[in-house]
Chain A
């Protein structure tokens, strides 16, 4: 018999005795909130998010400030390009992927580009000063950016260079985590990307005396532009 069958067999055997549901003295399943009932409630228990898109933007900005994410609302592509050009002084090489927004800025900088679209050398990507990506959505509740292998140019582009710039649109702002997971299901359920990540602030560590240090292994800087 395979080890899989051995283990599953032991599990089935172990589960012949049923265990009490936590918080319920008797094993009375009727009292338990079933998942179908619980799921709609989850968002009611998580931290509050305002009603309007303005509330959402304000909350995202507040969370970004706490997380040390550089969050910038921009009015137009020109504005975006102007701000990125200003940041770019000192950059020697940028990394990016093709996309509606990334194409609109990448070309304008006139710097050598490492594009991840068709694959890349890790050492080449490592030598870039910045990784510019798009995303699936922004989450106001936690100040997070949701990226996938498909939306953000693969797995490493958003983590290997020392600065990660996210280009997003206002319409991509979602209120909370349940909404972000619902979006994933809606967008990808038939064929999920092999990599999905919720990025919440620049890379950090507290492993030395619990003192916060940014840029542990991932980017030291995270900039989120929202058009």
Chain B
């Protein structure tokens, strides 16, 4: 099955100033197909449109043109959102809540019953090693702990599709390793994962397929299995020839 399909997906940001407006073509005619049960890496320089694409896929942005299909259903569609877990680039929470309160709150938004929620919240807190901190306020959390709460809210409702925007940024080496293991384990469980990064080595280690995004255009799709040349070379070649 195709997990994500985009058709001519285009996003133009328009910044209105007093007398003029500035247009940024963040994404241009993107046609992408991502198989389910695969890990797909979006590789691109800063400002290449990775975050824009992920936000379009969760409905935080509306496409200027084109369309998105998720699990072969036209997006946006409310029920699809229950099947997606989204990790923003800079996860930001309601800081006055405790770890367990925020997860309960999110759980309620999926319509989970109290019993289900209690089970799920405990499970996910355990998964991200925050069981001891469950009653601490997020305001007192370190950056790394917040990242882990970020991952907890992704996993809370057991989504089939995970959209992770730079999941390893802000993590220490141990955290990065753990994230890699988590991603691989989720893939084993049959999840589809789309992650963005500008670290070639990270992407190389977990992805089945890599898409190179440059200045809003999908330049190349690379299958990692049986790749003879180094991904780094391919990447630098792609983004420099495109300049």
Do A and B form a real pair? no
Chain B residues within 8 Å of A, Cβ to Cβ: none
Chain A residues within 8 Å of B, Cβ to Cβ: none
